[in-house]
Amino acid sequence: MADIAATGLPAERKSISRRLSTGLRCAIPAILFLIGGFLAPLVTVAAYAFATPKSFDVFRSFTLENFATIFDPANSVWVSFAWSVAFAILTVVLLAIVAYPIAYGLTRLFGRWAGLVSVLFVFPLFVSENVRLYGWVLFFIKNGVLDGSIKLLGGAGGPDILFTPGMIAFGLVYVYLPFMLFPMTLGLAMVPRDLVDAASDLGAGRMMIWREIELPLAMPGILIGMLLTFVLAVGAVAEAKILGGQSIITITHDIEIAFTYAQNWPLGSALAVLLMIMVSVLALFVMSRLDLDRILGRR
Amino acid sequence: MEGIGSKRVRLFVGLWTGFVVIAIYLPILCGALAGLSKGRYFAFPVRIYSTEWWWRTVSSFEIHTLVTNSLLIALIVTVVAVLIAFFGALAFARYPWKGRRLYQKVLLLPIFFPQPVLGLALLLWFNALGITPSWQTAAVAHLVWIVPVVTLVIAIQVYSFDPVLEEAAADLGAGRGFILREITLPILWPGIWSGALFAFLLSWGNFPLSLYTAGADSTVPKWLYSKMVAGYTPMVPALGTMSTLVAATLLLLAGATLMVLRRRRAG
């Protein structure tokens, strides 16, 4: 009791030294959990990546053979890497365009409807992505909703676009929309309204306000959205499997094949390590340039 | 000051948002339609509607097991995630401490991580520990991804919380437990509730983590996926629709409760 009474004293130095330990103490459960549930699995994967191919000799053998296999030009695994990265970049670009007007509406135009509209966009997150993607299969498939409707109207039937690369990109954009929209909305909410009004009063045009004020000030949020969607899309597999009909093998699919049919855990781990390095470098690079307190707390 | 340009922007943004919302819910509606049609294979327009596949789904023993697994996982994940994330969020946003900036970034890393790869990594780790994957390990896997999300949700509430209130209570001689019970918790309740709701719903709908870490046990999304790949029956869209309805009902109930509470507090 006595030390708590002391915390309240105006002596700033005293209260800071106490808080220091309180903060750390609060963080301990989360830190311990992530060491056991996140760091340890990643270390295991890294260890497997250096194990003898097609074996389970983790921590007992050391070889670079798995990486040699991947970088061997005769091997076509780079194709799936290229597809995944290309899809991810395309997804990020498309999502930025699709989400920007909605984020703008949520922060500026919708007023008291903004809450309801946000809920409409959050809800799909709680429906498993395979259910939603399968709904699109039912929509685009032969005799499906689109095909049937066009025939009903006397047309020749819907376009045959299911199981094509374009459809996979569509699925990625569809599934990861909320991950772009909400960070972007947070970012746009950081743009002070008076600043926009002032610029407008001083005669700045719409384009100029957008380029010189809105975009730079909203950038932290937009960056988080881009990072999130890129990372999630590069590791995606369900879209290519369900909407792509396995016509394209993404990198995560390759990893999965190594783990299941091929029973080559070390090779799968080596692939996973490469993907992990790419994702972590990108994530840490972007996050090191952001001030999370400002974005989340709007202080 | 409302010019024609601004009106045009308003119209465009409104129409575009409406269009995207329709696109978001379209596949869910298609699934509902497929689950309610009588035929073994889906064809549009639906010739005969029937609730036959709904009944078969509801009365199937296999489905009961799936739903029990999914529910158990989601409930455990909710309780554990909220407990860890509550303190995690205080460390994230409330207290200034030395390693906080680093902690904030490290904590968010699991969210920035492809879930299928995370699931496989956890599978290897469980294997190295000699643990047979089951629904319990799937719950752990869900937590790795959901604890950071819930921490973030609660942290946003913590940011809007003025520490002066706690300090004033301490000045007046209130004990630590008293402050937590009477001041900190009541102010943070909305954040904690939405964190719990997120935890439950995200776990309920999670597919990539369950796929690799649930072992021989199955959850609703995992079962749906296995049937989509091979062995489609209208039970797939029927169960998918039911699962969606469960999530929607929960969300609506939570929203209604929040509104009633707010009104009661105001009145």
Q: Which residues of A touch B121 (CB under 8 A)?
A: 41-42, 44-45, 272
Token pair in block for residue A40: 């340890």
Contact check, Cβ <8 Å, A174/B24: yes
Q: Which residues of B touch A126 (CB under 8 A)?
A: 201-202, 204-205, 247, 251
In this prediction, residue B203 carries a pLDDT of 95
In this prediction, residue A91 carries a pLDDT of 97
Q: The whole model's pTM is what?
A: 0.88
**In angstroms, rounded to a whole number, what is the distance separating the alpha carbons of residues A233 and A222?**
16
Q: Which CATH number, 3.10.450.200, 1.10.8.60, 3.20.20.70, 1.10.3720.10, labels domain B53-266?
A: 1.10.3720.10
Q: What percent of chain A has pLDDT over 90?
A: 38
- For residue range B71-120, what is the model confidence (pLDDT) as tens digits? 999 999 999 999 999 999 999 988 888 888 889 988 988 988 889 999 99
Question: Would you say B99 and A244 are in contact if contact means Cβ atoms under 8 Å apart?
Answer: no
Which of A54-63, A238-247, B29-38 is predicted with the least confidence, judged by mean pLDDT? A54-63
Contact check, Cβ <8 Å, B109/A124: no
- For residue range A165-206, what is the model confidence (pLDDT) as tens digits? 999 999 999 999 999 999 999 889 888 888 888 998 898 888
Interface probe for A, chosen from B17, B92, B165, B188 (most Cβ of A below 10 Å), is B17
Domain range annotation of chain A: 75-297
What's the CA dihedral at A142, A147, A149, A150 to 10 degrees?
A: -150
Window 223-252 of B: residues touching A by CB (8 A cutoff) are 224-225, 228-229, 236-237, 240, 243-244, 247-248, 251
Which phi and psi angles does B49 have, rounded to 5°? -90, 145
Interface probe for B, chosen from A3, A15, A22, A34 (most Cβ of B below 10 Å), is A34
Closest CA of chain A from B53, distance in Å: 17
Residue labelled with tokens 């966009």? A121
- For residue range A79-101, what is the model confidence (pLDDT) as tens digits? 899 999 999 999 999 999 999 99
Window 55-74 of B: residues touching A by CB (8 A cutoff) are none
**In angstroms, rounded to a whole number, what is the distance separating the alpha carbons of residues B73 and B63?**
15
Q: Looking at the predicted structure, is the pLDDT value of residue B1 above 50?
A: no
Closest CA of chain B from A20, distance in Å: 4
Question: Would you say B16 and A103 are in contact if contact means Cβ atoms under 8 Å apart?
Answer: no
Domain range annotation of chain B: 53-266
Query: Which residues lie across from B37 on neighbouring strands?
Result: B49
Closest CA of chain A from B233, distance in Å: 13
Domain A75-297 has CATH 1.10.3720.10: yes
B112 touches chain A (CB under 8 A): yes
